[in-house]
Amino acid sequence: MSTNVESGWTATERAGDVGGPRLDRIVIGLLLSAVGVAWLLNLAGVPILWRMFPAGALVLIGGALLVTLIGGRGRGMLIALGVVATLLGVAVGIGADRYQGPVGDHLVAPTSADWPVQERISAGTMTVDLTRHPLPDAGRLEADVGAGRIVVLLPPERALSIEASVTAGSLAVDGTRVDDGVDLHWSGPDDHSDAVELVLHVGLGDIEVRHE
C-alpha cells in the first residue's frame, strides 16, 4: 500500500517537473513589452536602433531554449519564434541602412510638384495614394519598408511602370496574390510605356497594388 502511495507522489512530482512554466509565453511577453517601450521612446523623439531588435530577440529566444533543457514548456513555439526572428534579421541585415526611418502607419500622397519621391519606414504600413492629386508626365517614386506592408492606390486611367520586390512575404495585384515566399519580384505593365515609375521594396511583409 505504501509503495503505491510513494509511486503516486513520485509520478506527481515528475509531472510537475516536466510541466514547468510556459517559457514561450514569457518570451512573447518580454518581446512585446520591449517593442512597446521602444515605440513610446521613438514617439518621444528618442532614436531607436530597430535593426538591432531581431538580434536581441534571438539572444532572448536562445537563452529560453537552453532553459527548456532543464525544465519548462513551449520549446516548439520558441523554435518558431527563432525562425521568424532569423528571417527578420536576414531581411533587415540586407542593406540595414536602407530601412532607417520612422515606425508606424505612413501616408504618401504627393502632388505633381513633389516628384521625384523617396520614402522609407523601418516598420509599419506605408500607403502610397496616387489618386488624390494629378500625376506628373514623368517621375520616379521609391518606397521602402523594412517590416510591414506597402499599399499602392493607382488611378484607373494610367498604367504606371512598377517594379516591386519583397525579400520574404507576398505580392498581390488588384486582390489577386501574384506570389509569396522569399526573393519575390514583379513588374508591370509589360510594355512599361508610362514615364512615371514606381520602385517598391519590402524586407519582410507584403506589397499590395490596387487600381481604384
Phi/psi at 55 (5° precision): -65, -45
**Which pLDDT value is given to residue 91?**
59
Closest alpha carbon to 82 in 96, 70, 68 = 68
CA gap 180, 174 in Å, rounded: 15
**Which pLDDT value is given to residue 2?**
47
Please state, as a whole number, how many other Cβ atoms lie within 10 Å of the Cβ of residue 193: 9
Number of residues written out for the chain: 212
Closest alpha carbon to 51 in 155, 2, 121, 110 = 121
Cell of 48: 531607436
Give the DSSP letter string of the chain. -HHHHHHHHHHHHHHHHHH--BHHHHHHHHHHHHHHHHHHHHHTT----GGGHHHHHHHHHHHHHHHHTTS-B-HHHHHHHHHHHHHHHHHHHTTGGGG-S-BS-EEE---GGG-SEEEEEEEEEEEEE-SSSPPPSSEEEEEEEEEEEEEEEE-TT---EEEEEEEEEEEEETTEEEEEEEEEEEEE-SS---SEEEEEEEEEEEEEEEE-
What is the CA 26 to chain-centroid distance, rounded? 21
- pTM value is 0.55
The domain locations on the chain are 2-93, 100-211
Is there a contact between 172 and 208 (Cβ–Cβ < 8 Å)? yes
Amino acid at 41: L
- Per-residue pLDDT tens, the chain, 212 aa: give them: 444 444 444 444 444 445 667 888 888 888 888 888 888 887 888 877 776 788 888 888 888 888 888 877 788 888 888 888 887 776 566 555 566 666 778 899 999 888 999 998 888 899 999 999 988 888 899 999 988 899 999 988 777 889 999 888 889 998 888 888 888 899 887 666 667 899 999 988 899 999 87
